[in-house]
């Protein structure tokens, strides 16, 4: 049973600070990882994908992947109140023809205080 674990939070950071969101997973074979942002009452929105060990940067967001430690993280620099949302970590739990079966964690609620 593939699992994705996240601290549910809430994680509270002041405006302008770096928010660090963490995720661990159980399936050593997993190759593809994703971060989704979900505002209250809205649907998930893809913000980052990462497939290789190391860092991937996109604007204020940096995803980090360590497959040996089965650990994925998301850093948000210069956090803004508009970043306040629940951040969902997901991995692709399928193989071959069934790729796309995303397995989500429960999400970490981030609150950025002005």
Partner 1 sequence: EAGVAQSPRYKIIEKRQSVAFWCNPISGHATLYWYQQILGQGPKLLIQFQNNGVVDDSQLPKDRFSAERLKGVDSTLKIQPAKLEDSAVYLCASSLVSNEQFFGPGTRLTVL
Q: Which stretch binds partner 1 (CB under 8 A): 12-20, 43-51, 60-68, 69-77?
A: 43-51
Closest CA to 110 of 36, 22, 10: 10
Q: Spell out, one character per residue from 50 to 89, where the chain touches partner 1: x when CB under 8 A holds, - when not.
A: -x------------------------------------x-
* 90, burial (CB in 10 Å: exposed 0-12, middle 13-18, buried 19+): buried
Indicate whether 4 belongs to the interface with partner 1 (CB under 8 A). yes
Q: How far is the CB of 61 from partner 1 (least distance, A)?
A: 15
Read off the tokens for 51.
């497939």
């Amino acid at each position: 049973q593939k699992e994705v674990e996240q601290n549910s939070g809430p994680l509270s950071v002041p405006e302008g600070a770096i928010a660090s969101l963490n995720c661990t997973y159980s399936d050593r074979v997993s190759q593809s990882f994703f971060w989704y942002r979900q505002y209250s009452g809205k649907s998930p929105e893809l913000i980052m994908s990462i497939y290789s060990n190391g860092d991937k940067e996109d604007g204020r967001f940096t995803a980090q992947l360590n497959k040996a430690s089965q650990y994925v993280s998301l850093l948000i620099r210069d956090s803004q109140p508009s970043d306040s949302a629940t951040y969902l970590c997901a991995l692709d739990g399928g193989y071959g023809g069934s790729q796309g079966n995303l397995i989500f964690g429960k999400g970490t609620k981030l609150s950025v205080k002005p």
